């Protein structure tokens, strides 16, 4: 599949379009760190996620859930010198996951650090369907993949934090 051309950290707007993505806007920030606590600067992060209705803009998504013409569901960014990153997006909806059952809201991360690559999913705290999501429950340390809620921004945008730990970075 060809990756979207609009790859900036704002998933709520597609370059060249006037509209804004539908759904609850949120800011997600965090850091990529090694297990020794060292920041991983210039790590490449690809983010994929469903829209607020639970639909991916991907040919293999055959759920029939509605597409959002103003949400691409993808970005490609790099961490700063402190290993930090920040994206503006919408809270993804859950969706039917076939044999895996219902998927709770989550965001996919593909992170390439200095010497290794990590593919992970980040989940939201307090979601009732976290207790039944088979992939979340199969994680070796489920709390490590659940973001933590931060105080909202002054404009009311929800904020979440999630630090990613890679073995070597």
Residues 6+ apart with CB under 8 A from 13: 19, 20, 21, 70
> Of these residues, 95, 114, 123, 159, which one is catalytic?
95
**Catalytic: which of 106, 114, 117, 153?**
106
d(CA 86, CA 138) in angstroms, rounded, equals: 27
**Catalytic-residue membership of 103:** yes
Give Cα separations from 8 to 12, 13, 50, 113, 141 (angstroms): 10, 9, 17, 19, 30
Residue 97, class by beta-carbon neighbours within 10 Å (0-12 exposed, 13-18 middle, 19+ buried)? middle
Catalytic residue among 55, 108, 114, 159: 108
Cα 154-158-159 angle, rounded to 5 deg: 95
Active site residue 123: no
> Is residue 106 among the annotated active site residues?
yes
**What's 42's DSSP letter?**
T
Q: Considering the candidates 17, 103, 148, 153, report the single residue annotated as catalytic.
A: 103
Does residue 108 have an active-site annotation?
A: yes
Residue 133 CB neighbours (<10 A): 23
- List the catalytic residue out of 31, 55, 56, 123: 56
Residues serving a catalytic function are 56, 95, 103, 106, 108
């Amino acid at each position: 599949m060809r990756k979207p051309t609009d790859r900036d950290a704002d998933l709520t707007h597609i370059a060249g379009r006037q509209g804004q993505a539908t759904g609850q806007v949120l800011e997600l920030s965090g850091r990529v760190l090694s297990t020794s606590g060292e920041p991983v600067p210039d790590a490449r992060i690809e983010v994929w996620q469903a829209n607020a209705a639970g639909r991916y803009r991907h040919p293999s998504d055959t759920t029939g859930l509605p597409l959002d013409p103003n949400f691409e569901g993808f970005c490609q960014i790099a961490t700063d010198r402190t290993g930090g990153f920040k994206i503006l997006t919408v809270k993804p909806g859950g969706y039917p996951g076939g044999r895996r059952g219902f998927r709770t809201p989550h965001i996919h991360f593909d992170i390439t650090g200095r010497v290794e690559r990590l593919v992970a999913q980040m989940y939201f705290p307090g979601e009732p369907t976290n207790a039944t999501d088979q992939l979340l429950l199969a994680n070796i340390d489920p709390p490590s993949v659940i973001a933590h809620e931060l105080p909202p921004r002054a404009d009311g945008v929800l904020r979440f934090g999630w630090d990613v730990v890679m073995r070597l970075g």
